[in-house]
């Protein structure tokens, strides 16, 4: 068996991308993280490679898959901190992590990395925004809905449409509307494109405020928001145009964890956060338990 602190060091490095962040998470010196990481790689016959800013492993994954499953079970049963990652708008809400959890970087875009780290059990739970989530028949991952709410168009307060009533799509189509790189959020992308939106791509590898909400400072660009993301943008305002498109928040976990008491406690905590912070937003609905 790989030592608990050694695999923790390796997986924190993969998750957080940074030796400094990994060392802080596992309360070791950075050189110790590097040494323990090398030990695990050598023991399991693996190599670390970096692709598009993310660390990954090359080699036969059979043994590390079993080790990670065992270590995840140990975290669940021993009370050791579980690992929670999510979309950017949860970062300020979870600045103080829920009891029994440690949190991540909150800057991942899209689904690919989320699904990968969940399937590999590097991360234990991930907060995502429907409708982009694993399919119901996914063999590994289960979705626990938390809340639904309408998506709104968001602009700077000096935008020409900011104070208009009865805004139409014809009005909106005069302005650029932000779009993430193709394929990151395929269902959201498809729906917004059907509405004539999602037409001004941003170059963003990881979430960056200035590259997303900050684009509205030009008082022309239109963004999107719902729920917690709207609550954190007091400098912006919503347009008077219903999109008839709903998003929200959900938690994704490995199927064999979904009934764990610690996951259930986390779900109750997150639902409480949502109810406390955005219960007065129009169209907000907590998911049924």
The phi, psi pair for 151, rounded to 5°, reads -80, 135
Q: How many residues are present in the chain?
A: 289
Q: What is the SS3 assignment for 276?
A: helix
In angstroms, the CA 108 to CA 206 distance is: 6
Cis peptide upstream of residue 130 (ω within 30 degrees of 0) = no
Cis peptide upstream of residue 67 (ω within 30 degrees of 0) = no
Q: What is the SS3 assignment for 55?
A: strand
Tell me what the pLDDT averaged over the chain comes to: 95
CB atoms inside a 10 Å sphere around CB 55: 18
User: What per-residue confidence (pLDDT) applies to 1?
Assistant: 76
b or e along 227-260 (b: 16 or more beta carbons within 10 Å of the residue's beta carbon)?
Answer: bbbbbbbeebbbbbbebebebbbbbbbbeebbeb
In angstroms, the CA 160 to CA 50 distance is: 44
Residue 197 and residue 223 in contact, taking contact as beta carbons nearer than 8 Å: no
Q: Which two tokens stand for residue 199?
A: 């037409």
What's the pLDDT tens digit per position in 44-97? 999 999 998 999 999 999 999 999 999 999 999 999 999 999 999 999 999 999
What's the pLDDT tens digit per position in 156-204? 999 999 999 999 999 999 999 999 999 999 999 999 999 999 999 998 9
Strand partners, 201: 179
b or e along 28-54 (b: 16 or more beta carbons within 10 Å of the residue's beta carbon)?
Answer: bebeebbebbebbbeebebebeeeeeb
User: What per-residue confidence (pLDDT) applies to 289?
Assistant: 73
Q: To the nearest whole percent, how much of the chain has pLDDT over 70?
A: 100
User: What per-residue confidence (pLDDT) applies to 280?
Assistant: 86
- Tell which residue, 157, 127, 115, has the closest CA to residue 254: 115
For the segment 143-148, the average pLDDT, to the nearest whole number, is 97
- Identify the band that residue 24 occupies on the pLDDT scale cut at 50, 70 and 90: very high
- Tell which residue, 269, 276, 277, 195, has the closest CA to residue 229: 277
In angstroms, the CA 60 to CA 45 distance is: 7
Taking the model in full, what pTM does it have?
0.95
List of residues 6+ apart from 163 with CB closer than 8 A: none
Strand bridging mode 223-225 / 152-156: antiparallel
CB atoms inside a 10 Å sphere around CB 130: 18
Q: Which two tokens stand for residue 55?
A: 């660390």
Q: Would residue 201 be called left, alpha or beta, if left means φ above 0 and alpha means ψ between -120 and 50 degrees? A: beta
């Amino acid at each position: 068996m790989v030592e608990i602190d050694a695999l923790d060091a390796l997986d924190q490095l993969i998750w957080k991308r940074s030796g400094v962040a990994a060392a802080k998470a596992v309360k070791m010196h950075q050189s110790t993280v590097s040494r323990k990481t090398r030990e695990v790689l050598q023991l399991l016959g693996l190599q670390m490679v970096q692709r598009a800013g993310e660390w990954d492993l090359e080699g036969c994954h059979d043994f590390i898959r079993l080790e990670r499953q065992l270590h995840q079970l140990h975290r669940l049963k021993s009370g050791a901190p579980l690992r929670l990652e999510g979309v950017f708008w949860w970062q300020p809400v979870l600045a103080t992590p829920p009891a029994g959890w440690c949190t991540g970087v909150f800057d991942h875009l899209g689904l690919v990395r989320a699904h990968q780290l969940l399937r590999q059990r590097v991360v234990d739970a991930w907060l995502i925004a429907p409708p982009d989530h694993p399919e119901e028949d996914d063999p590994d991952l289960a979705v626990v809905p938390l809340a639904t709410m309408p998506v709104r168009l968001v602009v700077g307060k000096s935008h020409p449409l900011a104070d208009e009533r009865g805004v139409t799509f014809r009005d909106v189509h005069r302005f650029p509307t932000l779009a993430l790189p193709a394929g990151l959020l395929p269902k959201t992308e498809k729906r917004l494109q059907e509405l004539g939106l999602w037409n001004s791509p941003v170059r963003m590898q990881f979430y960056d405020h200035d590259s997303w909400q900050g684009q509205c400072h030009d008082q022309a660009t239109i963004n999107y928001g719902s729920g917690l993301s709207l609550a954190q943008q007091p400098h912006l305002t919503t347009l008077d145009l219903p999109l008839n498109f709903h998003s929200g928040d959900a938690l994704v976990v490995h199927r064999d964890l979904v009934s764990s008491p610690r996951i259930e406690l986390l779900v109750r905590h997150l639902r409480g956060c949502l109810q406390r912070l955005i219960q007065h937003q129009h169209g907000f609905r907590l998911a049924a338990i």
